[in-house]
Amino acid sequence: MPEIREKFVNALVELNEIEVLQLTESRIESGEDPLVILDDVRKATAIIGRRFEEGRYFVSDLMMAGEILKQIMDTVRPKLEGRKGDGKGKVVIGTVKGDIHDIGKDIVVALLEAEGFDVVDIGVDAPAERFIEAIKEHRPDVVALSGLLTEAIESMKVTVEVIRQSGLDVKIIVGGGRVDEEAYEYTGADEWADDAAIGVKKIKAMVGVD
């Protein structure tokens, strides 16, 4: 199994669409836990993000990675849905302004929906104002700010500040490949995560559900 996981990660990093989708089908058919597959997606996307920041990958490569992920999720999502429970709360999620990555966000969305959350996805490159509009319209329990690039941390800080200044009473979690304890403290959010599964676990704790 470690060998197929390594092949999967490498194929996704190299944007080998055919091989990635074949391996996804094979892993699902073998009865593998879909959360393990999503963890491998997380590992691959972290590498893709680094390559983009190093100038080795371009926006077109990120778009290709996003398209591959959507197809992976089409295969994995039905297996996650079997885990659904009762509605546990509402989450507004989006990738912050200046970052067009939706890979990590889409994984979190799938996991939250599988846990029974009502999720409002406001997309990528979302300015603070878009988050404010979504909060006012949907009244979520938690707002999740996503970003893959280092520069997204500054956008997260600005977005958190705007939400706080608006007087809206909502809990905020920041997450992504470059988010750590230091970034979390800098942004002023209530929680943070650098892993999708951990992020979902923290969101559940933030709304007080098991």
- Work out the average pLDDT over 107-134: 92
Give the pLDDT band of residue 102 (cuts 50, 70, 90).
confident
CA distance 183 to 180: 5
Residue 140 dihedral angles phi and psi, to the nearest 5°:
-75, 165
Please report the pLDDT score of residue 43 as a whole number.
85
- Work out the average pLDDT over 109-119: 87
Residue type, 44: A
| Residue pLDDT, tens place only, 147-198 | 988 889 999 999 999 999 999 999 999 999 889 999 999 999 999 998 888 8
Domains, the chain, in order of start with CATH, read 2-81 (1.10.1240.10), 90-207 (3.40.50.280)
Could you give the dihedral angle defined by the CA atoms of residues 102, 106, 112 and 117, in that order, rounded to the nearest 10 degrees?
80
Handedness of CA 125, 130, 131, 135 (dihedral sign): negative
